[in-house]
Chain A
Amino acid sequence: EDQVTQSPEALRLQEGESSSLNCSYTVSGLRGLFWYRQDPGKGPEFLFTLYSAGEEKEKERLKATLTKKESFLHITAPKPEDSATYLCAVQPASLSGSARQLTFGSGTQLTVLP
């Protein structure tokens, strides 16, 4: 069974204080690992897809990295508008009809204080 564990559950940072969020996963072959941002009362917003160990992607103050067992979302010099819940999800490399579904972690609630 695919499993995704995110840590910490909640993180409070001062503006400008860089940190990392962790996503550990167990999957029978990885097709893709996804990072999403979710603001209160809204649906998840796509950030990144990572496909293979060693891959990195960046967008503004965010950088996502991937190893064979975990992914990190690094936040450099965060601003209050980065406050949100960050979700990690994996898609298995199964060839069955269920191959396209995602398994989500429980998320990290990030608060950036001014």
Chain B
Amino acid sequence: SAVISQKPSRDICQRGTSLTIQCQVDSQVTMMFWYRQQPGQSLTLIATANQGSEATYESGFVIDKFPISRPNLTFSTLTVSNMSPEDSSIYLCSVLTGRYGYTFGSGTRLTVV
């Protein structure tokens, strides 16, 4: 299965600032997915990122708040903009890896103070 390197693993940020999360995959993949996992809750899909096109956002998530880049088939970034304490969550990237289902990065634990 694919191996995903996600960074940073954790960060503490001031409200009003932005944080960019990076995901690097060890193989080329068509679609990458970004999830949010709020404390004590399950995973919620933020957006799907295809290389060469605009990301597709789920209901409740907007590009101005969560801009995504997908410059090539192995890399993507998610930015959490103008952060507030409500953005404190774990953010995860994921790729579809055939028979192994979806592989997830190790996550970025974000705390906004």
Q: What residues of chain A have their CB less than 8 Å away from a CB belonging to chain B?
A: 32, 34, 36, 41-46, 49, 87, 89, 97-98, 100-102, 104-107
Contact = CB atoms under 8 A, between A and B. Distances in A.
B62 interface: no
A102 B102 contact: yes
With a 10 A CB-CB cut-off, give which of B4, B42, B56 has the most chain A CB atoms.
Answer: B42
B48 A42 contact: no
B56 A98 contact: yes
Contacts of A87: 42-43
Contacts of B92: 43-44
Contacts, number: 51
Q: Which 10 A-B pairs have the closest CB atoms?
A: A43-B104, A104-B42, A106-B42, A104-B43, A46-B101, A43-B107, A44-B104, A49-B101, A43-B106, A34-B101
Q: How large is the interface on B (under 10, 10 to 19, 20 to 34, 35 or more residues)?
A: 20 to 34
A93 to B, nearest CB: 15
Decide if the interface of chain B is mainly helix, strand, loop or mixed.
strand
Contacts of A36: 104
A60 to B, nearest CB: 17
Contact of B96 (A44, A100, A104): A100
A104 B33 CA distance: 14
A34 B43 contact: no
B45 A41 contact: no
Nearest to A32: B101
Contacts of B99: 49
A92 to B, nearest CB: 13
A46 B107 contact: no
A101 to B, nearest CB: 5
With a 10 A CB-CB cut-off, give which of B99, B100, B107 has the most chain A CB atoms.
Answer: B107
B15 interface: no
Contacts of B43: 44, 87, 89, 102, 104
A49 B1 CA distance: 14
A89 B44 CA distance: 11
A58 B22 CA distance: 34
A30 to B, nearest CB: 14
A32 B99 CA distance: 11
